[in-house]
Structure 1
Amino acid sequence: MPMFSHSDHIREIESVSLGASTGRDEQVVKSWLRCIEQHRLDPTQACEAYILPDGELRAHRQQSEELIAIARSGLENLFRQVAGQNYVLLLSDRKGVTVEFLGDPLFDNNLRKAGLYLGSEWSEARAGTCAVGACLEAGEALTIHQTDHFDNTHTPLSCTAAPVYDTSGDLAAVLDISLLSSPIRKTSQNLALHLVAATVRRIELANLMAQTRDEWVLRFARSPEFLDVDPEAAISIDGSGRIIGMTHGGAKILARSVGLDWRQPDGLIGQPIARFFDMEIDDLPDLTRRRPTQDRLVFARDGNALFAHAIEPHHKVQAPVLAREQIPVSLRGLSGGDPQMAALQAKAAKLAGKPLPILLQGETGTGKEYLAKAIHDGAAVKGKFVAINCAAIPEQLIESELFGHLPGAFTGASAKGRKGLIEEADGGTLFLDEIGDMPLSLQSRFLRVLAEREVLPVGAARPKPVNLRVISASHRDLGLLVREGRFREDLYYRLNAATLSIPPLRERRDFDWLLETVVARHRPVGEGLAVSPAALLALRAHGWPGNIRELDNVIAVAAALCQDGVIEPGDLPETLTSAAAVAVRLDDASAGPAALKAMLGACGWNISETARRMGVDRSTIHRQIKRYGLTALN
């Protein structure tokens, strides 16, 4: 690249803003355009490096304290690799503020002046096009070399950066390696790009291992020789087989396997491992070091083959074991032997007698209110169980519904006043369904109820003491709402002293028991009500997006339509009878592939669930997938 004057540099940026082409990398051009169009920066105005005051820097470092501790070893190792080459290492947080720094102390003054120093802010809005800022925007490793920088002040620098993602798939930090001066050619920084990306990969892996010591970790490599010593990616998996963490490389493997975008990690976290790989949680022990490395091969749903190394939990988490008679009667009737529900019942039984707030998580229709009432009944308290759906009450009425009001407290208020639902639950349990829909304006008031154990009715001057247990529920990810600023973090941690996750109906192994329970509920007194084998096949094959509530509605309608007390396929919705038609013989060469593909799709490519619904064993499903060459993408 020829030497440019400052005026040449400014003219090039201006021409790019007008749509002219240039030989710059695509990420550089995109950053220049953001600087002009979004950040309203002027390339003719110099922007000196900015160093945060000590107090602000201290706050940024405290927020990144855990990440700094985990990353420090990787940073020091990288610094040793480039010793004597005048490189400076910067670890910046997601705001672009340098929270850790490694450089030659002999050049401190020059580094500080250039902004390559602790406390410097390299966000794109502050500094223009730079490696840290562009990396935060693009989410990918890149080099911003000399006149790639937007601001003339920074054109002597050559900076290479890579993003550090947290275990949830969110961009948490940026690792940057920079030079005050460097060779003219940008390719001179290719090795720096490789080194910083490799260091970030190891930092993410160390972070994942630290965050999930009590869960399974599955590490991947394309070569068996490097699998156990320097893996390329990793994911963590809980005891029920769901993804709970990942490195950036792990996120890309998961997303690619089912055709998703790794930039939307919410579609990956919480999903069963069987959705992405031809395996189940029970297969993980076969991927430990007990087997030769070359034999530990797994297949992603897109057909990609990877060598895998499973690391067992440091402390195996055992489901709480309680004898049936130790579980309150109210909780015993919630399942018919499903393992996930059995563990949930045992945990709920231990919590029932303790006044801890409980958060219930689960899809719509899974029975969160039934569980809340069962916990209340199991606690054997004198007070009432009071339920309120935060999504069903108009926002302008929620405050008076919850807190009550004095006579004439507001226009339209009852002349006698009204006791609020919180006060109604005094001595008992307040159940807040869809807590994620509670307006922010009320969240702070409700936080006070939990903290102070008192309620202030609308229009009152003095609060009233209350003693109650709060059970809340949501089908939404409250953690995500907190990160988006739509739910108070302090209230979130007050509500989920304990969290109980209810499995969706499609994952429960006690479907036949649940079905019989629902049928019995709708069986007329003194009459019979049964399900024919053909209708049973249709009910088993359905995916049940509405869960138990949907099942209850289907049986209620079928009971009203059926003849002679027997539910036939014709009494069921068309969506269910079409699902039953899918369950044909798998060895039918004309219909088998389509039927199997449809059922796999309905089950999220969960092999065990597909086998259960089709009435065959897992090996048959595996064999037919290979026979027909099926993948999640074809």
Structure 2
Amino acid sequence: MGFADHIKEIERVGQGSNTGRDALVVESWRRCLETYQLDPAEAREAVIVSQARLREHRQQAEDLVHIARSGLERLYRQVAEQNYVLLLSDQQGVTVEFLGDPSFNNNLRKAGLYLGSDWSEPRAGTCAVGACLATGEPLTIHQTDHFDITHTPLSCTAAPIYDTQGALVAVLDISLLSSPILKASQNMARHLVSSTVRRIELANLMANSRHDLVLRFAGAPEFLDVDPEAAISVDGAGLITGMTHGGARLLAASRGIDWRQPERVIGQPVTDFFEADLDELASLTRASLPQDRRIAVRDGSVLFAHAIEPQQRVVAVPLVRSVQPESAISRLGGSVDAIDNLRRKVAKLAPSALPILLQGETGTGKEYLARIIHEVSGVSGRFVAVNCAAIPEQLIESELFGYVPGAFTGALAKGRKGLVEEAAGGTLFLDEIGDMPYAAQSRLLRVLAEGEVLPVGGSVARKLEFRVVSASHRPLGDMVAAGSFRQDLFYRLNAATLSLPRLCQRGDLPWLIDRLLEKHAAPGRALRLSPAARVLILNHSWPGNIRELDNAIAFAAALCESCLIEIADLPEHLAGSSPDTGDDHPEAALRAVLSACHGNISEAARRLGIDRTTMHRRMRRLGIGRPH
């Protein structure tokens, strides 16, 4: 669409015409025209606020950024390979946290996809951050949805973040400088952003409700303990003290009130919303199975609940280890020799204090393994993940080690605790350690050797105790030989090394597929693959490993019309890779699986998720003889 056509469409919308745009976009265009008096013909270049203003905005948002950091870095790792940029904006629309490829900094800054950019709707016109702030809803503003012609190359997807009292305090956005034409291409982006926001809000509620009962809710028992949809906190008197946005919607729906009026929920008795008293709610702990933790809501619906008892105040956080249930180790993979061997090593190494180095290609699940090691180790502190490749070189020391007040221009007035100190009593996970600048390697070595950290600009070191797990897709031994990685640091980090295989080398691929189908299914609905789609997935080489597989399943889950994923729902590079295994060719599909399994019927049945009897019956029906 050209400049003139874009202006004409906006003018027609202003005159009341229906041009087929999404309602949220139309409403935003009208606000821009009528409320903000913006001219669509006037170019509105990106505005980056001054360093002084940015410092103020970041200081006000510091607590939220601190809680959200792990979720933001995890989301960025999921989308960075697709060239997305991640922005966290405050309630004024100013970007207070930014993650993007540094090699594109000039282009990103010019487009406004940068730290300090102002994306408020009155200033930038229709955009994802501004429209999200105005509506309180997750949305995508795709290319010509933007009011300003200067922003039409962009595709931006955003979701609101609410605080525990129901106020919209920030917006999480991922954006592309250029993207496919179809807006539907961003469905998976919206799913990922909304999932991350849900986790951030839950972490915020847990951090602010340590001395209250926390109740988590899900529509299906399978998701209750791993990915709850809503949560609330309740004090000793049975009054509601906090909630996630999902919790706000749940409570409002139970009484038929507007979720945009949190004052009608906060401070009210929890028994006004559920058919249970406080003691009954508090008893819904992990002592019983998830499917037994049903709770009736006042609107007649039934949910599954998980009660987390109030935490006691803790003065110190020592490295106290306890026995961890086998469930954490069982999540490593299916029952095949390579994974069973990995499980045995983790069970032995995790409770020890040995530094562990994880080696494996990008996307093989190194952080996932690190989190399991943390869980099995029994340490009482936090798991703090640091992506050494994502932090700009000039900021890595202040991010890792913190800084004292006034340490440098732009520093927060009260200083800042570093990520290493955040891991005290827990696990410090150094992801992509091979990308850490050489100078920072020296400082990290000193921290590991002496067990203390000196903040930037400080003069007094702080004693710390923490567990170190590091990871790299680079061969660190070769880097040491080439002189690009410190030998002494290498030996500090790899007292034990665990290697993760490529996905195409894993014999438990069917197990992984089933777990990801469970992960991305809608609440209360089982997500399945058609036989042909399963064959296509089993035979793909997966150069992006588990991350690519996860993205493919998430993409298909967002596109499929029912609970059955067909080949057409898979990403294009998969759906177009094997025309002979479509749904119209079940014989070819079955032969392809048998071929991949070298004629082993038991293995083929396992990959297809069926028993041997069903496999034989299917072969007879399709006229496929027993392979030699």
What is the TM-score when the length of structure 2 is the normalising length?
A: 0.50
Q: Max radius of gyration: which structure? A: 1
What is the TM-score when the length of structure 1 is the normalising length?
A: 0.49
